[in-house]
């Protein structure tokens, strides 16, 4: 996401850092480049005008700060302005004193409304809530069935007991109270474009359930059209927030950078992939940090805390330090990493990662290949890899569909990791030894084969 804009900013800031003092002429030149970068990213022209004007206003007092260089101050101004444009602070959900808390999902057909409803239900479950999904989209064939499938996947019940969408929504509130469900997520019908019939129906549903939050689900890849759709819905429904879908597929990011300023409502959540877990609250400061190539460590930590079993992680760390880390442990840790999402996304959250590595095609199937090799070993072989002789290697290779050289390379790399971790467990002396070992292993992180 935001790849094109990140690249442009990276080039602008590199040239900026190479200069000493920044006069009015240099600042104007930088602002011109920032304006072009934002317009190319499909950011609304009114929003671009406001961003550039505010950065210019802040740049007037550049010589006031002695702790930062002029270039650093301009970068900080851009960062602060991006945070402000993206919404300032993330939207915090507050719950109704008398349950259920009702959320109404609106949007065009194809924006990902139904899938997003399922993802949102999963997110609420993780917060310790008990959601109920409501299938009020009776226009699209199989929409309710799609919601039921998603409900089964996230273990959340689905209610849709009428042929009238307004009646469904009204009855769902009573059903949530009867079942003790404290969050109600109402999935409504969409159209291929904004029309009066669509607005009338969703308005009636809103009147029937009195939602605490009305979210507009917008496909981020539609760019400027997303902003126009948001304006139309907001004039009818009084939106509380926007949920952006397919943010991972939008290299420009214009919708995300435009919608808050144009509509005056924050981006509440973002869908960053096809899986139900590829969904997270939208944090403007973290997104601004990603856009400027500064990483997003907080989100990475949260994903790790969600994916990793704390006791298992602590035990694995202790084994590593004692040099007792086995291939069985290695397999378990890799399975935990897979839960955190695509490797490409995780690398994008790391600060200081070179642009070339962020753009490199990192194949998640590499983990699957390693898993296949380890799973083709006996439990005894995983605990004691030194038992693996020539005939065992051939059996493992045949069982995993790999070559013996790939098996050999994995075993060699694992042995080096064990050696390095044993050194690290020996304090400063071990750390020096580990550094020397790392210097001799330039291809440790490379693919098998």
Q: What is the pTM of this model?
A: 0.67
Q: What is the pLDDT of residue 188?
A: 92
pLDDT of residue 310: 63
Q: What is the CA radius of gyration of the chain?
A: 26
- Enumerate residue ranges in the chain where pLDDT < 70: 1-2, 19-23, 60-70, 249-253, 293-323, 337-365, 417-418, 420-449
Question: What is the 8-class DSSP label of residue 221?
Answer: G
- The distance from CA 225 to its chain's CA centroid, rounded to whole angstroms, is 23
According to DSSP, the β-strands at 101-106 and 213-219 are parallel
Same fold, 3-86 and 308-439: no
CA distance 254 to 263: 14
d(CA 181, CA 270) in angstroms, rounded, equals 24
Q: Cα 271–227–102 angle (5° rounding)?
A: 55
Residue 214 pairs in a beta bridge with 104
pLDDT of residue 449: 39
Q: Which residues contact 5 (CB under 8 A, 6 or more apart)?
A: 37, 38, 40, 41, 252, 253, 291
Distance CA 90, CA 282 (A): 6
58 vs 347: CA distance, rounded Å: 33
Q: How many other β-carbons are positioned within 10 Å of the β-carbon of residue 226?
A: 28
Domain boundaries, the chain: 3-86, 101-300, 308-439
Q: What is the dihedral of CA 260, 263, 268, 273, to 10 degrees?
A: -80
CATH 1.10.260.30 correct for 308-439: yes
Hey, is 306 helix, strand or coil?
helix
**Closest CA relative to residue 267, chosen from 230, 222, 221:** 230
Kindly indicate whether the domain formed by 3-86 is annotated with CATH number 1.10.8.80.
Answer: no
Burial (CB count within 10 angstroms: exposed 0-12, middle 13-18, buried 19+), residue 162: middle
Compute how many other C-beta atoms are within 10 angstroms of the C-beta atom of residue 110: 13
Run of H or E residues at 110: none
pLDDT digits (tens, 9 = 90+) for 358-384: 555 556 667 788 889 999 999 899 888
The span from the CA of 243 to the CA of 311, in Å, is 34
Buried b (16+ CB within 10 A) or exposed e, 361-390: eeeeeeeebbbbbbebbeeebbeebeebee
> Under a CB-based contact definition with an 8 Å cutoff, are residues 248 and 211 in contact?
no
- CATH number, span 101-300: 3.40.50.300
Sheet of 101-106, strands arranged across? 158-159, 131-136, 183-188, 101-106, 213-219, 241-245, 267-271, 279-281
């Amino acid at each position: 996401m935001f790849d094109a804009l990140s690249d442009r900013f990276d080039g602008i800031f590199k040239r900026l850092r190479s200069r000493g003092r920044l006069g009015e002429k240099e600042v104007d030149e930088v602002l011109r480049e920032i304006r072009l970068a934002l317009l190319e990213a499909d950011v609304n022209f009114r929003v671009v005008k406001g961003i550039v004007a505010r950065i210019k206003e802040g740049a007037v007092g550049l010589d006031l700060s002695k702790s930062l260089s002029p270039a650093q101050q301009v970068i900080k101004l851009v960062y602060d302005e991006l945070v402000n444009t993206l919404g300032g602070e993330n939207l915090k959900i507050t719950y109704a004193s008398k349950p259920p808390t009702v959320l109404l999902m609106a949007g065009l057909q194809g924006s990902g409304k139904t899938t997003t409803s399922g993802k949102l239900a999963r997110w609420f479950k993780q917060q310790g809530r008990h959601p109920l999904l409501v299938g009020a989209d009776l226009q699209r064939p199989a929409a309710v069935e799609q919601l039921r499938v998603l409900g089964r996947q996230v273990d959340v019940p689905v209610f849709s007991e009428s042929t009238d969408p307004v009646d469904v929504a009204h009855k769902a509130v009573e059903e949530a109270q009867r079942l003790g469900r404290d969050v109600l997520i109402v999935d409504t019908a969409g159209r291929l474009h904004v029309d009066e019939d669509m607005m009338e129906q969703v308005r009636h549903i809103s009147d029937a359930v009195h939602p605490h939050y009305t979210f507009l689900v917008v496909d981020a890849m539609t760019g400027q059209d997303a902003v126009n759709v948001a304006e139309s819905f907001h004039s009818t429904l009084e939106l509380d927030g926007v949920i952006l879908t397919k943010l991972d597929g939008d290299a420009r990011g214009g919708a995300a950078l435009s919608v808050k300023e144009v509509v005056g409502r924050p981006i509440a959540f973002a869908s960053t992939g096809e899986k139900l877990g590829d969904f997270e609250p939208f944090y403007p400061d973290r997104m601004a940090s990603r856009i400027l190539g500064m990483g997003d460590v907080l989100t990475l930590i949260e994903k790790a805390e969600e994916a990793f079993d704390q006791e298992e992680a602590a035990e694995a760390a202790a084994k590593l330090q004692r040099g007792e880390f086995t291939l069985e442990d290695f397999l378990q840790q890799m399975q935990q990493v897979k839960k955190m999402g695509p490797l490409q996304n995780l690398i994008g959250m790391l600060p200081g990662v070179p642009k070339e590595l962020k753009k490199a095609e990192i194949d998640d199937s590499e983990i699957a290949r390693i898993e296949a090799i380890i799973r083709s070993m006996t439990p005894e072989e995983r605990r004691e890899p030194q038992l693996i002789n020539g005939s065992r290697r051939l059996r493992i290779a045949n069982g995993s569909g790999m070559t013996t050289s790939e098996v050999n390379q994995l075993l060699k790399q694992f042995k080096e990791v064990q050696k390095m971790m044993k050194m690290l467990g020996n304090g400063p002396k071990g750390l020096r030894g580990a550094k020397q070992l790392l210097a001799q292993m330039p291809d440790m992180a490379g693919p098998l084969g």
